[in-house]
Amino acid sequence: MVRRTGFDPDGCGRMNSIAENEKSRPNAPPLRRFEAEFLRPYRWPIALGLCGLLVQSVLLLPIPLLQGWVVDRLVGYVRASGGGGTETAVVNPSVVAVARAAAARAIGLALAATIGLHAVRTLLAWRIAAMMGRISQEVVVAMRGALHRKLMRLPMAYFDAQQTGRLMARVTSDVGSILMFIRSGVLQVLNDLISSLAIAVLLAWLEWRLALVALVAVPLYAVNQRVFFGRLRRLSDEIRAQVAALYALLSERISAVRVVRSFAKEDDELDELDRRIDRHRALNWANTRASAALAGLATVISGVGTVFVIAYGIVLVGRGVLTVGELLAIYALVGQLYQPIVRLTQFQATAISTQVSIERLYEIFDEPEPVRDRPGALAIPQPRGAIEYRGVSFAYTPDGARLLCDIDLKIEPGTHLGIVGPSGAGKSTLLALLPRLYDLPDGTDETGRGWGSIHLDGTDVRDLRLADLRRAVALVPQQALLFEGSIRTNLLYANPEATEEQMWDALRIADLAATVAALPAGLDSTVAERGDSLSGGQRQRMALARAIVAQPTVLLLDDCTSSLDAETEARIQQSLERGLPGRTFVIVSHKVSSVRRADHILVLEAGSVVEHGTHDDLIALGGHYAETHRQQTAALTTVE
Ligand code: ATP
């Protein structure tokens, strides 16, 4: 069955559940799993196609026999009419007439049968190609869907460690190579195997000694395959990896084209791209050479096998065991026997490359998938917005250093918390833990220290239903990423049920309503990929409006108004308070002006809280916050 795991927009990871998943990881080889999960639903159409192909192959078998039959009739006619070196004293006209009629009948029949057989074969080939084309498309759609769902379920840590381009290569190029294989290869391979067997049996029935001579070539084919297998496998691995590296470079450089241009690095980038393309071409060339050598040797083996068959066949004709026509029929059948075997050899490179692609895709499918909700996870019917961090520590990797150390903090519902601190202090990390973009591990580290817990309205966030948690808590990240589409589709992404009025309200709060209203298409104006058609500040405000449309109880603003001037920022904060009354806000910023209105302010340094209190408390304390305030105010005064 195709796995229908359902769309899941979450990517949180929990270390204990990763271990559980690893235990349940299927051990079957990827090829078998691919067959079971993606091909088996089509087993009946595929079986039908296979039957069709077999009929196609079987229809070929009478043709050599007919040709042999025609040749024997012609030989009979030539002999009857005194030709062919036969010492016939008297040519009997009636015998000649009978032989001529027999030969003419044989030719007519053979011609009609050959045309008829080929017509049926063509019809079958057309139907089978159409059916396999459809099946391969459906398999690819199912595979891409399953991959997409799987990627959506993987933890953030997975994406932190992966280049987007490499993932893209798997979803496009690897799946594409599987598509080609199913469309043009899989049935042909099965058919070739079965039809070679059928021809071998027919040969043995016609003349077992010649069949034995013909089959001597088979072990030679096997040795040939074996010799090339390792090399082709290695080359396929490298080619797939090289394609992924190429995709990675392209996707990175295209998305950062402004950086490339601003450093005038176009030529360097082209050189790098050329180098990778050359490497890819060299590998492909080596692969083509190896496949050609393999196929060439296979053809030589067929040639030698055929020569042996003919030589021994002539001996048998000489002994009167075989007629010339039978020898010719056997010769044609031997050709038909070798053809599929040579084709199988030629197909080996494609089959290996498809196998490599399937294995690479199963590397993604086998990635441990965090359990989304714990058993008995709790719903949040009416979130209030009380947040508590209890002794929270965090490291991005299990053996990495702790970037947050024993953070305790409590935020009452409906209040505002400001967080300031130097770059790299851990402010974004602290926010990302609340909606469980990263999960706090259970248990303790190797030194026996725990990781703490985070609570929403008194419940550990890991015990809540993730979908409910993410509805209650909205995070507006530092980098405002928008999707290609209209302003409307971007806003509806956060809340598909949002009304027109709610969307305009959100835009008003984000101080973007006037800008959108002035656009000719209003809400339906297009936002380009990555939102490049908007200014940095407009993008940030769009991302904020999108979060507001979701009507969260807790809004986490991760330095998301950094591109705005202090006046606009203050206006937006006031609108937020008015437009979303009673909500809990956490505002991360480098600017003291962004957090000074907060009910409580934390100063974070190197993952620890070093100061906390209200703006006035912290100014009075005369510590880091007061110093930052002094410097920022002085800088503003100097600018003015
Ligand atoms: P800034 O003000 O510059 O945004 P920040 O205070 O928000 O910084 P974080 O983004 O939380 O700091 O980063 C804290 C530390 O964690 C940094 O040393 C950073 O290198 C590291 N870090 C951040 N994200 C990841 C990640 N996905 N994987 C590994 N380390 C990370």
Mean pLDDT of 517-544: 81
Whether 427 is in the pocket of ligand 1, judged by its Cβ within 6 Å, is: yes
Q: Look at 93 and 627; give whichever has higher pLDDT.
A: 627
Rounded Cα–Cα distance for residues 501 and 195 (Å): 69
Rounded Cα–Cα distance for residues 306 and 496 (Å): 70
| pLDDT(16) > 50 | no
Q: What's the pLDDT at 248?
A: 86
Per DSSP, the residues of 464-532 read B-HHHHHHHEEEE-SS----SEEHHHHHHHH-TT--HHHHHHHHHHTT-HHHHHHSTTGGG-EE-GGGT
pLDDT-based confidence at residue 228 (cuts at 50, 70, 90): confident
Mean pLDDT of 464-475: 92
Whether 136 is in the pocket of ligand 1, judged by its Cβ within 6 Å, is: no
Mean pLDDT of 316-334: 87
SS3 state of residue 550? coil
The CA 429 to ligand 1 mean position distance, Å, reads: 6
Mean pLDDT of 81-95: 64
Q: Which residue carries 């990896």 as its tokens?
A: 241
Beta bridge partners of 605: 608
The CA 426 to ligand 1 mean position distance, Å, reads: 6
Sheet holding 459-460, edge to edge: 404-411, 387-394, 453-456, 459-460
pLDDT-based confidence at residue 591 (cuts at 50, 70, 90): confident
Which residue owns the Cα nearest ligand 1 atom 11? 426
| pLDDT(21) > 60 | no
Which of the four CATH numbers 1.20.120.1460, 3.40.190.10, 3.40.50.300, 1.10.10.10 does domain 387-639 have?
A: 3.40.50.300
Q: Look at 452 and 166; give whichever has higher pLDDT.
A: 452
Q: What's the pLDDT at 283?
A: 93
The CA 366 to ligand 1 mean position distance, Å, reads: 28
Q: What's the pLDDT at 87?
A: 52
- Which of these, 611, 586, 582, 581, lies nearest to 598 by C-alpha position? 586
Using a 10 angstrom Cβ sphere, with 0-12 exposed, 13-18 middle and 19 or more buried, the burial of residue 223 is exposed
Q: Look at 341 and 607; give whichever has higher pLDDT.
A: 607
Mean pLDDT of 4-17: 32
| pLDDT(534) > 90 | no
Q: Which residue carries 């599987």 as its tokens?
A: 178
Q: What's the pLDDT at 100?
A: 80
Whether 396 is in the pocket of ligand 1, judged by its Cβ within 6 Å, is: yes
The CA 74 to ligand 1 mean position distance, Å, reads: 89
Q: Are 160 and 396 in contact (CB under 8 A)?
A: yes
The CA 324 to ligand 1 mean position distance, Å, reads: 84
30-365 and 387-639 share one CATH topology?
A: no
The CA 607 to ligand 1 mean position distance, Å, reads: 10
Radius of gyration of the chain (CA): 37
The CA 397 to ligand 1 mean position distance, Å, reads: 13
Helices (H) and strands (E) in the chain — how many of each? Answer: 24, 12
Whether 423 is in the pocket of ligand 1, judged by its Cβ within 6 Å, is: yes
In testing the pocket of ligand 1, which one of 158, 160, 162, 403 has its CB within 8 Å of the most ligand atoms?
403
Beta bridge partners of 204: none
The CA 424 to ligand 1 mean position distance, Å, reads: 5
Mean pLDDT of 572-589: 88
Beta bridge partners of 608: 605
Tell me how far CA of residue 34 lies from CA of 131, 134, 321, 356, 500, in angstroms.
20, 18, 51, 12, 46
Whether 589 is in the pocket of ligand 1, judged by its Cβ within 6 Å, is: no
Which residue owns the Cα nearest ligand 1 atom 2? 423
- The H or E element spanning position 604 is strand 600-605
User: Relative to the CA of 425, which ligand 1 atom is closest?
Assistant: 6
Which of the four CATH numbers 3.30.420.40, 3.40.47.10, 1.20.1560.10, 1.10.1200.10 does domain 30-365 have?
A: 1.20.1560.10
Whether 429 is in the pocket of ligand 1, judged by its Cβ within 6 Å, is: yes
Q: Look at 90 and 192; give whichever has higher pLDDT.
A: 192
Which residue owns the Cα nearest ligand 1 atom 27? 160
Predicted TM-score (pTM) above 0.75: no
The CA 396 to ligand 1 mean position distance, Å, reads: 9
| pLDDT(600) > 90 | yes
Chain centre distance of CA 171:
2
Which residue owns the Cα nearest ligand 1 atom 10? 428
Whether 160 is in the pocket of ligand 1, judged by its Cβ within 6 Å, is: yes
Which residue owns the Cα nearest ligand 1 atom 25? 396
| pLDDT(7) > 50 | no
Mean pLDDT of 333-362: 83
Rounded Cα–Cα distance for residues 323 and 383 (Å): 93
| pLDDT(2) > 90 | no
Q: What's the pLDDT at 91?
A: 67
Tell me how far apart the terminal alpha carbons of the chain are, to the nearest angstrom. 68
Phi, then psi, of 486 in degrees rounded to 5: -95, 170
Which residue owns the Cα nearest ligand 1 atom 1? 423
Per DSSP, the residues of 291-304 read HHHHHHHHHHHHHH
Mean pLDDT of 432-441: 91
User: Relative to the CA of 478, which ligand 1 atom is closest?
Assistant: 4
pLDDT-based confidence at residue 411 (cuts at 50, 70, 90): very high
Which residue owns the Cα nearest ligand 1 atom 21? 424
Structural domain spans, the chain:
30-365, 387-639
Which residue owns the Cα nearest ligand 1 atom 14? 426
In testing the pocket of ligand 1, which one of 156, 162, 396, 604 has its CB within 8 Å of the most ligand atoms?
396
In testing the pocket of ligand 1, which one of 405, 423, 428 has its CB within 8 Å of the most ligand atoms?
428
| pLDDT(434) > 60 | yes
Considering only the C-alpha atoms of the chain, give the largest distance between any 2 of them, rounded to a whole number of Å. 136
User: Relative to the CA of 397, which ligand 1 atom is closest?
Assistant: 29
**The two structure tokens encoding residue 529:** 């990929």
In testing the pocket of ligand 1, which one of 429, 438, 557, 604 has its CB within 8 Å of the most ligand atoms?
429
| pLDDT(595) > 70 | yes
Which residue owns the Cα nearest ligand 1 atom 23? 429
Q: Which of 110-114, 423-427, 496-500 has the lowest mean pLDDT?
A: 110-114
> 485's torsion region: left (phi>0), alpha (psi -120 to 50) or beta?
left
Rounded Cα–Cα distance for residues 82 and 78 (Å): 6
User: Relative to the CA of 438, which ligand 1 atom is closest?
Assistant: 27
Query: What's the mean pLDDT when you consider all of the chain?
Result: 84
Q: Are 150 and 365 in contact (CB under 8 A)?
A: yes
Q: Look at 213 and 455; give whichever has higher pLDDT.
A: 455
The string of pLDDT tens digits covering residues 34-80 is: 988 898 899 899 888 888 888 887 887 888 888 888 888 888 888 77
Mean pLDDT of 72-93: 70
Rounded Cα–Cα distance for residues 384 and 552 (Å): 10
Mean pLDDT of 533-548: 87
- Which of these, 612, 238, 631, lies nearest to 418 by C-alpha position? 612
pLDDT-based confidence at residue 531 (cuts at 50, 70, 90): low
Whether 425 is in the pocket of ligand 1, judged by its Cβ within 6 Å, is: yes
Mean pLDDT of 497-516: 92
SS3 state of residue 274? helix
CA atoms within 13 A on the CB side of 169: 21
What percentage of the chain has pLDDT greater than the value 90?
26
Mean pLDDT of 372-393: 90
| pLDDT(581) > 90 | no
Beta bridge partners of 389: 409, 454
